[in-house]
Amino acid sequence: EHQEMMCSGCGIKIQTEDKERIGYTPKSALERDVVICQRCFRLKHYNEVQDISLTDDDFLKILNELGTKDALIVKIVDIFDFDGSWLPGLHRFVGKNPILLVGNKVDLLPKSVKRSKVIQWMKRASSEYGLKPTDVHLMSAESGEAVMETANLIEKYREGRNVYVVGCTNVGKSTFINKLLKEFGADDEFMITTSNIPGTTLDMIDVPLDDGSSLFDTPGIINHHQMAHLLEKEELKTITPKKEVKPKVFQLEAGQTLYFGGMARVDFVQGEDQSFVCYFSNEVPIHRTKLEKADELYKNHLGELLSPPNKESAKDFPPLVKQDWKLEEEKQDIVISGLGWITVHGRGASIRTHAPKGVHVSIRPSIF
Ligand code: GDP
């Protein structure tokens, strides 16, 4: 029998093959009278939104859709991976709609860092990307820090309009929405539904607000430039910071190299002695060596001393790609997308970075 089944919650075609894609339903659930997809099931029974994968094409359609609305856009970025989680195209699509830019995972920043400085930095970086947010805010969706303030800001700026929450995967969008649902969605009258995005097979979570408007959680796009795609799940846990990052300071002279596990490497090729302050997950091992010995070390010890990647994933790990940089400013960050950054204190250093093919490396004025 070859009958197509549709989810009675969101209307998506039911499939039983791929858990990560939309429409997934376990085979056993097909026996029920009313079949709904796992995403709707979790939403209905646990008040919980689930991540789904998305193609770039579908994401463009979502962005286009946003431009046609009169709404408040809430854009969430991961402040620990600001550039990697940015969503470059957004400003071309939002039209006149105001944007509230929310930097999530503030709990990861060292306590010594002034929040106001981070906000200043986010404003500057946004304007370099061509985006002028109405306001910029920091929160920690996970710890709950400043989540209510975010909700209040949304209320303030939406002025009765609908709200669209956008962000790439892994920025903590679901954690945030789930916190909101817990806070506001407890009573039975509060009905969460999904609503379709025209031209796509995707739908948004539709959270009703009390004046009849809605807060829509749009699906997040996958960021292809991140380290995350090259490692196993367990290793990913190592490189993803879980708590306050403790900066590690190295006083280096020219001719020295730092290895970040076996995932990336920074050579101090030329310049006066200066300090390299490393902001990475506390579990990423940093190894200092002589530049002249660095190649050999990698050849002989990738997957062991230089890990992650472990021995197994080292086999498929892409070759490291070199890039040369001259740091002209006093304090600049070398950013390795999805992994962390190094603040170089000093001027005029010649640096060579090595990062896996496809992982983005960039230089920016220091955050702090
Ligand atoms: P989404 O893909 O944007 O929906 O992201 P998730 O909500 O699934 O979160 C991605 C990962 O980031 C999970 O491992 C979360 O536990 C973690 N996370 C989310 N919010 C925070 C936060 O405020 N601080 C920290 N440290 N981690 C967070």
Q: What domains can you pick out in the chain, each with its CATH number?
A: 1-46 (no CATH), 62-217 (3.40.50.300), 228-365 (no CATH)
**To the nearest whole number, what is the mean pLDDT of the chain?**
87
Instruction: Please tell me the distance between residue 175's alpha carbon and the centre of ligand 1 in angstroms.
Output: 6
Q: What is the pLDDT of residues 149-169, one digit of tens each?
A: 999 999 999 999 999 999 888
Say which DSSP state 317 is in. Answer: P
Instruction: Calculate the CA 118 to chain-centre distance.
Output: 17
- φ, ψ (nearest 5 deg) of residue 248: -110, 130
pLDDT (mean) for 183-187: 63
Residue type, 113: V
Residue 52 has pLDDT above 70, yes or no: no
pLDDT at position 2, please? 47
Instruction: Please tell me the distance between residue 174's alpha carbon and the centre of ligand 1 in angstroms.
Output: 7
pLDDT at position 62, please? 82
pLDDT at position 48, please? 64
ipTM over 0.90 threshold: yes
Q: What is the pLDDT of residues 95-148, one digit of tens each?
A: 889 999 999 999 999 988 899 999 999 999 999 888 999 999 999 999 999 999
Instruction: Please tell me the distance between residue 327's alpha carbon and the centre of ligand 1 in angstroms.
Output: 33
pLDDT band at 354 (very low <50, low <70, confident <90, very high): very high
* C-beta of residue 182 within 8 angstroms of C-beta of residue 130: no
- φ, ψ (nearest 5 deg) of residue 179: -65, -45
Across-strand partners of 82?
none
Closest CA to 100 of 21, 32, 41, 153: 153
pLDDT (mean) for 335-343: 93
Nearest atom within ligand 1 for CA of residue 171: 3
Higher pLDDT, 171 or 199: 171
Residue 51 has pLDDT above 60, yes or no: no
pLDDT band at 234 (very low <50, low <70, confident <90, very high): confident
Question: What span, in angstroms and rounded, lies between the C-alpha atoms of 170 and 220?
Answer: 8
Q: Which residues line ligand 1 (CB under 6 A)?
A: 51, 104-105, 107-108, 140-142, 167, 169-175, 220
Higher pLDDT, 115 or 185: 115
pLDDT band at 72 (very low <50, low <70, confident <90, very high): very high
Nearest CA to ligand 1 atom 19: 172
pLDDT at position 55, please? 65
Higher pLDDT, 156 or 368: 156
Nearest CA to ligand 1 atom 9: 172
Q: Which of 77, 166, 173, 175 to mutate to test the pocket of ligand 1 (most atoms within 8 A of CB)?
A: 175
- φ, ψ (nearest 5 deg) of residue 367: -65, -45
pLDDT at position 199, please? 73
Nearest atom within ligand 1 for CA of residue 173: 3
pLDDT band at 1 (very low <50, low <70, confident <90, very high): very low
Residue 324 has pLDDT above 60, yes or no: yes
Nearest atom within ligand 1 for CA of residue 104: 23
pLDDT (mean) for 264-268: 98
Question: Which one of 32-36, 41-45, 294-298 scores highest in mean pLDDT?
Answer: 294-298
Instruction: Please tell me the distance between residue 176's alpha carbon and the centre of ligand 1 in angstroms.
Output: 8
CA distance to 23, 232, 301, 303, 305, per residue, from 309 (Å): 33, 8, 11, 5, 10
Nearest CA to ligand 1 atom 6: 172
pLDDT at position 53, please? 54
Instruction: Please tell me the distance between residue 43's alpha carbon and the centre of ligand 1 in angstroms.
Output: 18
Nearest CA to ligand 1 atom 17: 172
Instruction: Please tell me the distance between residue 215's alpha carbon and the centre of ligand 1 in angstroms.
Output: 19
SS3 29: helix
Question: Which one of 33-42, 57-66, 78-87, 94-103 scores highest in mean pLDDT?
Answer: 94-103
Burial of 188 (0-12, 13-18, 19+ CB in 10 A): exposed
